[in-house]
Amino acid sequence: MGTKIETVTKSRTQLSRMENGAESIKEGNFLSRMALNDNKAGMEGLDRDKINKIIMDTSKGSRFYESELKREQQVNQRIEKMMLQKAQITEQQLKKAQTQVDKMVSELEKTCDLSRVIVHVDMDAFYAAVEMRDCPELKERPMAVGSMSMLSTSNYHARKYGVRAAMPGFIAKKLCPDLVIVPPNFNKYRAVSDEIREIFSDYDPHFQPMSLDEAYLDFTAHLEQRQSWPESSRTHRYRSQSLATDEKQTRLHQEAEVTDLSPVLFEDSPTSSPSLPGSGGSTGGAFEVFGTSVEEAVREMRFRIEQKTTLTASAGIAPNTMLAKVCSDKNKPNGQFRLLSTRGAVMDFIQDLPVRKICGIGKVNEKMLKALGITTCSHLQQQMALLSLLFSETSWHYFMQISLGLGSTHIPRHEERKSMSTERTFKELSKPEEQFSLCRKLCEDLAEDLKKEGLKGKTVTLKLKNVNFEVKTRAQTLPYPVATAEDVFAVAKDLLKMEIENESPQPLRLRLMGVRISAFISVDDKTPMQKSILGFLQPGKVDCGRSSQKIHQNLQKNPLSNPPVQASQPLGHLEVQNSQKPKEISLGRRPTEEEPQQSFFQRAHAKRLQLMAANSSRQDEGCRDESSMVNLALSKEDVEPSTQPRGDDCADLDFSENKSASPVQPQASTSSCRTQTEALTCPVCFKQVRTADLNVFNRHIDSCLSEAAGKPNRVSGAEFDLETEHQKSKTVHKQSREVEELPVNGEELSRSVPQEDSPKNNSVPKVLLSEHEQKPVTLQGHQSGPVLICPVCYLTQETDDLTIFNRHVDLCLNQEVLHELRGQTTLSIKPSVGKNSKDSGLHLQRHASKSKNKRTDTPSFPPSKKPKSLGVCNTIDKFFR
DNA sequence: ATACATACC
DNA sequence: TACTGGTATGTAT
């Protein structure tokens, strides 16, 4: 193990030299990411090398393998950097660090609390055990729960072959051809989980579940009470054997009742020592009396779990969570381990404990530490000074706590969730329409989940993984929280669109997509929310609502693990952010007094352009010309904040996209293309503005927008005439079609020019988006009949009647336009595409509750009134960030 | 605030 | 054929 560094360095060199470096690197250490993770229970004494060879042989050459190779390199580089840093550390520095560390150690030691009894319970091979219980034939066989693609758990028999959780099934099959793979049944696991949690709560009503099969409990209070409990309260009977395998529900029900009664029933039982099964014989089941000690209490709990579920659990008992967790693994399966609550016992226990066993130290940290010669906790302790110089503050503080055997001594009450997401892996998805459609689906799923918990979040994050397993996330934070599929999708699709457009070479080939929402507002934040808006309106002030609150919470939460760092840093961070804000704003258009603030849409687009501009300047080959709308439309100066002194704007950036769909030659250089356009189509009134000057054009749009915003029913909460709106949008739509010289593009508007209607477009070099957005796509698959994806809403439409489909698209389009004009309001589409759809085809619906919410929960958006107090009216960003 | 990486189950 | 999905948090910019 001492030659690790050398090996690491060598591997990297070899890698950079050869494409398929796999063969040349022989064994073990290389690709530690992929190698068998044998530090879990049931994996001792395996033929590691043989198993790893099979794993490697099976994976070699796959995209996944290549991707892992790459990541491995990155880690190796990180390690190299670290080693370089280490080499530059002087004795002096080290000494100084050591005194710092010593000081801190003695302070930390003072905080050590050994008075609590923390228990970590963990079901043994949970999913697999449930399946085995319910299908006894599986008991004698190696089996795993999951699929050919991925396993969640394996039973102990399978583990002997190296088959374990997080291993793909097809590799597991190579390791163990007889392996039985059972698809997961989460509802069942959840039901069992409920059962065990019921038991947990008897010992600690505030227990913290970590997953379906795992929890931390604070036994301290229970043990105090337990000392005075009569034996009857510590007596539990065995489940009757005959009911072991069938009629679970009935049995469980009965069991629960009997268990509850048992203390009374057996109060007078003459059992001082645990009775064996059968000793209670005649009354129909044995029982067992448990003592008052910790061990007995935990054993009792495990016993009850087993009786109730026919599944076994393991447990760890220790003075804090960190240790309890390690302990629960010690005698797995079906065992428990108690670490005595004395300083000596803890330190002894810690000494030779591999760092990898500690929750929070994973593959990467293990490897980095190993590079420093640190594999056990005692090494950690010895090297603290060095670690304090090489790792971030949070990291080395954490290391230090570990090295002292410290951890949480209380079970934190379950915190509110911070994010919610949904993601999906699929074959390969390369068609933009399908990608958008999927994106919408994900947003719908997410919205459904959000609804269940009544949450609204401000940050939407799109996650993409391409077929090479490269992961990307793109996020956008809104000034107001959203929860509906429409609102989330409005953001996500923009983020997605951006990635689709920017991909080179085309197309974007996805294997996974996910949507996440975060930055929730919570019930108790609603009032602060109001305040924070006021806070925004006072320049120079930090968001007074949430952030400071959070920081405060953090401070109180764990004074041990995150001392001043958390307190000072985020605050400073916020201030900096705040003061930097104007920089971003320079991109945005300065609204005039009367005009409405920019829609999110506009801002998002401006941002996108900014990013694109940054992008194109990076890849100066201009290689994206054929695919990028931006390059066709804009010179870099148009979006570069530094070269754009005036309050120039979003709107023109936004709509400059129009030109991308216009007959611009693909070879056009970024600067030349601009002159080719002499007229621009206003996205509001849809008239052409004969100018190449974006400022002039912008002024025009400004006035249009103010006019649109001036319409009384746009601002008031009053019901408006749907029919009128509908008609109007129809008209608008029609107009947009008539103006053919310059197909409207600005975002959704681009879709207002279906291909059939604009023959010119056919001669235009296809820009990806205009292409796919104008053409309905036929999906084969699940449906029997043809399915079309609406290029506007991305909902699949089960029809092959193009007339009907077109009507849907038209109506969608109208909705989009309206939506945009009124600033993300309240209309939702109810697409009706079936044969029975009326002429109207679609009904614009006003969601009363939703619109109410919009106005009350998010008073700011759409802004009912503008903050007049601010002399300089910048973009909306300024107010809300 | 955003992107990416690490970690855990 | 085939290498997850959900959440939190750390690190870096």
pLDDT in tens, A404-413: 999 999 998 8
pLDDT in tens, A746-774: 333 232 222 223 322 322 222 222 333 33
As a whole number, mean pLDDT of residues A57-77 equals 94
Q: Which residue is nearest to nucleotide B2 (CA to C1')?
A: A475
DSSP string, A732-749: HHHHHHH--SS---TGGG
* pLDDT for residue A371 is more than 90: yes
How many other C-beta atoms are found inside a 10 Å radius of the C-beta of residue A410?
16
Q: Which residues contact A787 (CB under 8 A, 6 or more apart)?
A: A778, A779, A781, A796, A797, A798
Considering all nucleic acid strands, name the nucleotide whose C1' atom is nearest to the C-alpha of residue A325.
B8
Cβ atoms of A880 and A539 within 8 Å: the answer is no
Q: What is the pLDDT of residue A284?
A: 55
d(CA A298, CA A214): 14
**A299 CB inside 7 Å of strand C:** no
Cβ atoms of A555 and A570 within 8 Å: the answer is no
Residues of chain A (425-464) having a beta carbon less than 7 angstroms from strand C: 425, 449
Q: What is the pLDDT of residue A29?
A: 54
Q: How confident is the model at residue A31 (pLDDT cuts 50, 70, 90)?
A: confident
Please report where in the chains the tokens 């300024």 appear, as a residue. A878
- Chain B bases under 7 Å from protein CB? 1-9
d(CA A589, CA A598): 8
Please report where in the chains the tokens 């529900």 appear, as a residue. A249
* pLDDT for residue A277 is more than 50: no
Q: Which residue is nearest to nucleotide C4 (CA to C1')?
A: A150
Q: How confident is the model at residue A345 (pLDDT cuts 50, 70, 90)?
A: very high
Q: State the pTM of this model.
A: 0.64
Q: What is the pLDDT of residue A603?
A: 44
What is the total residue count of chain A?
881
Q: Would you kindly state where each structural domain of chain A is located, as residue ranges?
A: 89-110+342-413, 115-238+286-338, 419-522
Please name which of A265, A310, A305 lies closest in space to residue A284, comparing C-alpha atoms. Answer: A265
- Chain C bases under 7 Å from protein CB? 1-13
Fold entry, domain A89-110+342-413: DNA polymerase; domain 1 (1.10.150)
* Å between CA of A495 and C1' of C13: 20
Say which residue, A129 or A675, is predicted with more confidence: A129
Cα-based distances in Å from A254 to A178, A250, A259, A879 = 38, 6, 8, 61
* pLDDT for residue A153 is more than 90: yes
pLDDT in tens, A828-840: 222 222 223 222 2
pLDDT in tens, A796-817: 777 777 877 787 777 777 766 5
* Å between CA of A517 and C1' of C8: 13
**A757 CB inside 7 Å of strand C:** no
Q: What is the pLDDT of residue A30?
A: 64
Q: Which residue is nearest to nucleotide B3 (CA to C1')?
A: A473
Q: Which residue is nearest to nucleotide C5 (CA to C1')?
A: A423
Strands (E), A452-541: 456-466, 471-482, 510-521
Does the domain formed by A115-238+286-338 have CATH 3.40.50.300?
Answer: no
Q: What is the pLDDT of residue A316?
A: 98
Q: What is the pLDDT of residue A797?
A: 75
d(CA A176, CA A51): 10
Cβ atoms of A322 and A407 within 8 Å: the answer is yes
What is the share, in percent, of chain A residues with pLDDT greater than 90?
Answer: 47
Say which residue, A471 or A592, is predicted with more confidence: A471
Q: What is the pLDDT of residue A241?
A: 56
Pair of tokens at residue A443 = 């947003």
Cβ atoms of A659 and A745 within 8 Å: the answer is yes
d(CA A162, CA A319): 33
Q: Where are the alpha helices (DSSP H) in A204-342?
A: 220-226, 248-265, 294-309, 321-330
d(CA A473, CA A496): 10
pLDDT in tens, A710-735: 332 222 222 222 222 232 232 223 22
d(CA A611, CA A753): 27
Q: How confident is the model at residue A820 (pLDDT cuts 50, 70, 90)?
A: low
* Å between CA of A119 and C1' of C7: 23
Q: What is the pLDDT of residue A43?
A: 77
Per DSSP, what are the bridge partners of residue A789? A777, A796
Q: Which residues contact A538 (CB under 8 A, 6 or more apart)?
A: none
d(CA A603, CA A588): 7
Cβ atoms of A660 and A773 within 8 Å: the answer is no
Considering all nucleic acid strands, name the nucleotide whose C1' atom is nearest to the C-alpha of residue A470.
B4
Residues of chain A (825-844) having a beta carbon less than 7 angstroms from strand C: none
* Å between CA of A476 and C1' of B1: 9
d(CA A649, CA A440): 30
- Rounded to the nearest integer, the mean pLDDT of chain A is 66
Cβ atoms of A499 and A472 within 8 Å: the answer is yes
Q: How confident is the model at residue A466 (pLDDT cuts 50, 70, 90)?
A: very high
Considering all nucleic acid strands, name the nucleotide whose C1' atom is nearest to the C-alpha of residue A55.
C3
Q: Which of A47-56, A195-204, A217-226, A320-329 comes out lowest in average pLDDT?
A: A47-56
* pLDDT for residue A777 is more than 70: no
Say which residue, A282 or A269, is predicted with more confidence: A282
* pLDDT for residue A434 is more than 80: yes
As a whole number, mean pLDDT of residues A155-167 equals 95
CATH of domain A419-522: 3.30.1490.100
Q: Which of A226-230, A445-449, A677-681 comes out lowest in average pLDDT?
A: A677-681
Beta strand A796-797 pairing with A787-789: antiparallel
d(CA A453, CA A465): 28
Query: Which residues neighbour strand B (beta carbon < 7 Å)?
Result: A 71, 74-75, 78, 166, 210-214, 325, 358-366, 459, 461, 471-477, 519, 573, 577, 881
